[in-house]
Amino acid sequence: MIWSYRCVALLLISSALILTSCEDEVTEPEETEEEYEFTIVEGNFVDPSLIHNPITGELFLYYLPGIIGSNPAGCPDSDGDGDDDYPCTKYIRSAVTALSNDSMYVINGDRVEKEISSGTFSDPDIITDGTGTYFLYVSEGQSVRVYTTDELGGTFVEQGLASNGQGGVPSGIHFGENEFGLFVTTGGGISKGISSDGISFSNFTEITIHDGSDEREYADPSIIPW
């Protein structure tokens, strides 16, 4: 009933008010019309990765555009035969919060483009070294390609493979000066590589997540500082 919800609200606000005519007062619900501002964005979006710009307070969201009816990581099936039609150009795009109270995302163009003739291109992950360089890791099957920029809204420059067959679907982290980690999905679990520059990773070793008492599969890691 309406009065019971009102009593709960009063209890949460102040226990001294719980005896205020809760038993007898019954009110009819008031219909109110609320106004909302929203942004309509054309397209589909998968594999998001978020980063905060501490200078402007903005949030940047990096994503892979979706493909209706096809695997978004591959090429579109334009002829409807069930197979991806290679080659095609894949994009990583970004959105940014508007500097306003509604914090609506506004599409902000392409950050990376890559022509592929086979395989996949997906799962972007964005990190920073804290000194103005941003690293974007993108999965290519069981490998990871790395891009860098000094401007979140700018074009990223390809730097090579951070993982060359050691695993895909990356999650990167900056531990400290000249110390980076890259967590990737392998056929058997999650592995971690180390790097001094955030670009060239080595010594990939499998991460032990549980005691091995039962069989489990792990994929798609996400690592954050704590």
Same domain, 26 and 114: no
Q: Which residue did the predictor score with more confidence, 207 or 28?
A: 207
Same domain, 164 and 194: yes
Q: How confident is the model at residue 37 (pLDDT cuts 50, 70, 90)?
A: low
Q: Which of 24-28, 88-92, 98-102 has the highest mean pLDDT?
A: 88-92
Same domain, 77 and 156: yes
Same domain, 15 and 97: no
Same domain, 1 and 68: no
Same domain, 27 and 114: no
Same domain, 62 and 9: no
Same domain, 155 and 131: yes
Note the pLDDT tens digit of each residue in 150-189: 999 999 999 999 999 999 999 999 999 999 999 999 988 9
Residue 18: pLDDT over 50: no
- Regarding pTM above 0.85, the answer is no
DSSP the chain: -HHHHHHHHHHHH-GGGTTSSTTT---PPPP-PPP-------S-EEEEEEEE-TTT--EEEEEEEP-TTS-TTS---TTSSSS--S-EEEEEEEEEE-SSTT--EEEEEEEEEEEESSS--EEEEEEE-SSS-EEEEEEETTEEEEEEES-TTS--EEEEEEESSS-EEEEEEEEETTEEEEEEE-SSSEEEEEESSSSS-EEEEEPP-S-SSS------------
CATH classification of the domain holding 50: 2.115.10.20
Residue 78: pLDDT over 60: yes
Same domain, 71 and 46: yes
Same domain, 10 and 70: no
Q: What is the dihedral of CA 16, 18, 19, 23, to 10 degrees?
A: 170
**% of the chain surpassing 90 pLDDT:** 56
Structural domain includes residue 220:
no
Number of domains in the chain: 2
Structural domain boundaries enclosing 117: 37-206
Q: How confident is the model at residue 72 (pLDDT cuts 50, 70, 90)?
A: very high
